[in-house]
Amino acid sequence: MAAATGTYEIKSEHGEVINTSTGLSNKKLLMWSFLGSDVMFFGSFIATYLVYRNRSLVGPYPADILDIPITSVSTFVLLMSSLAMVLALSYIQQGRQKMGTFWIFSVVVLGAIFLLFQVYEFNHFGQVGLTPRTNLFGTTFFILTGLHGAHVTLGVLWLIFLGFGSIKGSLRADNAIDLEIAGLYWHFVDIVWIVIFTVIYLISARDVGPPG
């Protein structure tokens, strides 16, 4: 079965896949290329955020509002989910179905916890007066982290889908590639968060309004 993308490979009579020109499977190459594309997507938003640092005309500014300890916790949760992802793939590849299933759902849970942190943070910021319409910081912050959150959500849904596949036995060692590409996506989204966390919470945590 195929995951979210259709696949087609030249197959022999007995269904073995003929080696591709590069030796990489089509799906994997597709995912790598897509991630390249997504780098440009997040890169442009992060660049926008950096351009608009210290340029909000009114508060609240990052210095007034960012809570680094809480976000560090959620960052840690997301990092751990990547670890769980590695374990899940390893178990599925070894054919240890139950352990694989457990770790897939661990990723799902950790991802969901991260999303809950984000919901809490957005909600909290809204209460203290920062919305996407407040100032440039609000606009760039919410849109960037919100789109990252959307990526995480998509990943969680995808992994739930694969987790059930693992329970039902349609995700197994012989098509672990489906989990592997989901894993590629998940690690990428994780890495993007590290960059976002660094840029927003670490580098610009003390930012205020424009100088003068």
Confirm or reject binding of residue 212 to other proteins (CB under 8 A).
no
Hey, how many other C-beta atoms are within 10 angstroms of the C-beta on 5?
Answer: 12
Residues 26, 90, 97, 153: which binds other proteins (CB under 8 A)? Answer: 26
Q: Which stretch binds other proteins (CB under 8 A): 55-63, 69-77, 95-103, 105-113?
A: 55-63
Q: Which residues within the stretch 131-190 sit at the binding site for other proteins (CB under 8 A)? A: 132-133, 135-136, 138-140, 142-143, 147, 161, 164-165, 168-170, 174-175, 177, 180
Degrees (nearest 5) of the Cα angle 122, 125, 129?
Answer: 135
Residue that the structure tokens 């012989």 belong to: 174
Residue 110 or 163: the one with the smaller Cβ distance to other proteins is 163
Rounded Cα distance between 38 and 40, Å, is 5
In three state form, how does the secondary structure of the chain look? Answer: CCCCCCCCCCECCCCCECCCCCCCCHHHHHHHHHHHHHHHHHHHHHHHHHHCCCCCCCCCCHHHHCCHHHHHHHHHHHHHHHHHHHHHHHHHHHCCHHHHHHHHHHHHHHHHHHHHHHHHHHHHHHHCCCCCCCCHHHHHHHHHHHHHHHHHHHHHHHHHHHHHHHHHCCCCHHHCHHHHHHHHHHHHHHHHHHHHHHHHHHHCCCCCCCCC
Q: Could you tell me how many residues make up the chain?
A: 212
Confirm or reject binding of residue 15 to other proteins (CB under 8 A).
yes
Residue 122 or 142: the one with the smaller Cβ distance to other proteins is 142
Residue 24 or 202: the one with the smaller Cβ distance to other proteins is 24
Least CB distance from residue 51 to other proteins, whole Å?
A: 6
Least CB distance from residue 116 to other proteins, whole Å?
A: 22
Q: Which residues within the stretch 63-122 sit at the binding site for other proteins (CB under 8 A)? A: none
Residues 19, 72, 94, 198: which binds other proteins (CB under 8 A)? Answer: 19
Least CB distance from residue 159 to other proteins, whole Å?
A: 14
Residue 44 or 72: the one with the smaller Cβ distance to other proteins is 44
Residue ranges binding other proteins (CB under 8 A) = 1-26, 28-30, 33-34, 36-38, 40-41, 44-45, 48, 51-52, 55-57, 132-133, 135-136, 138-140, 142-143, 147, 161, 164-165, 168-170, 174-175, 177, 180, 210
